[in-house]
């Protein structure tokens, strides 16, 4: 059991800056995120795209912003739990017990949800029968590539993941790459490589085809694909891989008794607490009259939510408002050497 003051759900810019604000007022926190790295949408959706509306930063990319925030919270040694999704919350007397998908357990005084638009999940095939094979012979990510050796793999998608895996697996497996159009969104060099391999007969490329159905008993046996013009083909396949990017879903947050309004969590604007005592929500996931989905709004919300947590984490103490420029305590926490 990890015991700390506050658990932050979401390592996007809002969650990261909130960790800073907690650190400044002397509270400990740990951060859980479903992705494999910090940064949230900034890293997952637009790492290279410039952002122009961070106060006092005329221009920076999502990646630079994330790196700077990580640098800013370094003095507080915040512990990250990546690739973990928070599944369950339980109130135990005055504390919250939290369990994640990887069976990590936390005992905390308060929880701050900074979950953006929800957790990123792989986008799946729209065909119902696919669920039956998911995890055994149909995958949306690859954990162990050795299972594909000498097998026939049908890969769907046109982005970098689909192209890279098609190239890599074509060394040891028979690969079909199926994409809905002639154009690809992946790197041009990979597209060229795939076309070369196709010309050399080392993989089979099918463009303007989409999945029509899958069949098999316990394992997939074959997959039927359909051309834009209506023609169908049946491809014998041992495994099917789908790489259609990520979709954002609220997931278990829906089950925590919070007031949800159009995929967002309702909060008050005094300290960004939800209808449940000790659970706060900040950033894109929270809603209140006048809410703007801007990073700078998330920073403000995090500053107030951090202070809102204080009464739960230190019920017998009083929080005094201080500036980092003059507060000795804050500077000590930041490790400022004089």
Partner 1 sequence: MAKITYHTHDNKTHTIDVQNGLTVMEGAVQNDIPGIDADCGGGMACATCHVYVKEDWFDKLPIKEDGEEDMLDMAYEPKQNSRLSCQLIVSDELDGLEVTIPEKQA
147, 139 in Cβ contact below 8 A? no
151, 175 in Cβ contact below 8 A? no
Contact residues for partner 1, defined by CB under 8 A: 41, 45-46, 117, 123, 126, 157-159, 179-181, 183, 185, 210, 228, 244-245, 247-248, 263, 293
Q: Is 323 exposed, middle or buried (0-12, 13-18, 19+ CB in 10 A)?
A: exposed
Residue 98 Cβ vs partner 1, minimum distance, rounded to whole Å: 25
Q: With respect to partner 1, which residue has the nearer C-beta, 223 or 303?
A: 223
Residue 259 Cβ vs partner 1, minimum distance, rounded to whole Å: 17
Q: With respect to partner 1, which residue has the nearer C-beta, 41 or 170?
A: 41
Continuous segment of H or E residues that includes residue 198: helix 188-199
Sheet holding 260-261, edge to edge: 260-261, 264-266, 286-287
User: Any bridge partners for residue 91, and if so which?
Assistant: 96
User: Any bridge partners for residue 319, and if so which?
Assistant: none
Q: With respect to partner 1, which residue has the nearer C-beta, 123 or 132?
A: 123
φ/ψ (deg, to 5) at 279: -115, 120
Residue closest to 258 by CA, chosen among 287, 300, 289: 287
From residue 299, alpha-carbon distances to 51, 173, 202 in Å are 15, 49, 51
Q: With respect to partner 1, which residue has the nearer C-beta, 98 or 138?
A: 138
Residue 293 Cβ vs partner 1, minimum distance, rounded to whole Å: 6
Residue 313 Cβ vs partner 1, minimum distance, rounded to whole Å: 32
Residue 117 Cβ vs partner 1, minimum distance, rounded to whole Å: 5
Q: With respect to partner 1, which residue has the nearer C-beta, 245 or 252?
A: 245
In terms of DSSP bridges, do strands 264-266 and 260-261 run parallel, antiparallel, or are they unpaired? antiparallel
Residue 272 Cβ vs partner 1, minimum distance, rounded to whole Å: 20
Q: With respect to partner 1, which residue has the nearer C-beta, 15 or 186?
A: 186
């Amino acid at each position: 059991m990890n015991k700390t003051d506050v658990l932050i759900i979401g390592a996007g810019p809002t969650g990261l800056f909130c960790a800073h604000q907690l650190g400044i007022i002397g509270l400990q926190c740990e951060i859980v995120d479903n992705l494999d790295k910090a940064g949230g949408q900034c890293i997952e959706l637009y790492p290279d795209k410039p952002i122009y509306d961070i106060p006092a930063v005329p221009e920076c990319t999502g990646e630079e912003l994330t790196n700077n925030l990580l640098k800013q919270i370094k003095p507080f040694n915040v512990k990250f739990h990546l690739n973990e999704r928070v599944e369950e919350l339980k109130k135990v007397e005055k504390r919250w017990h939290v369990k994640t998908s990887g069976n990590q357990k936390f005992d905390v005084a308060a929880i701050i949800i900074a979950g953006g638009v929800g957790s990123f999940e792989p986008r799946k095939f729209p065909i119902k029968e696919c669920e039956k094979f998911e995890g055994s012979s149909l995958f949306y990510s690859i954990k162990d590539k050795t299972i594909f050796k000498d097998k026939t793999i049908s890969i769907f998608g046109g982005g970098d993941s689909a192209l890279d895996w098609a190239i890599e697996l074509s060394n040891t497996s028979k690969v079909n790459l199926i994409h809905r159009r002639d154009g690809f969104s992946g790197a041009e060099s990979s597209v060229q490589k795939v076309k070369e391999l196709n010309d050399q007969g080392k993989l089979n490329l099918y463009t303007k085809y989409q999945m029509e159905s899958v069949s098999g008993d316990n394992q997939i046996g074959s997959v039927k694909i359909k051309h834009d013009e209506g023609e169908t083909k049946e491809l014998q396949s041992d495994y099917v891989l789908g790489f259609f990017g990520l979709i954002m879903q609220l997931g278990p947050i829906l089950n925590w008794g919070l007031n949800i309004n159009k995929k967002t969590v309702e909060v008050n604007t005094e300290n960004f607490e939800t209808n449940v005592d000790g659970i706060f929500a900040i950033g894109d996931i929270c809603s209140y009259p006048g809410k703007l989905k801007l990073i700078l709004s998330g920073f403000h919300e995090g500053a107030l939510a951090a202070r809102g947590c204080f009464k739960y984490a230190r019920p017998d103490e009083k929080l005094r408002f201080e500036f980092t420029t003059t507060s000795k305590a804050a500077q000590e926490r930041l490790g400022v050497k004089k």
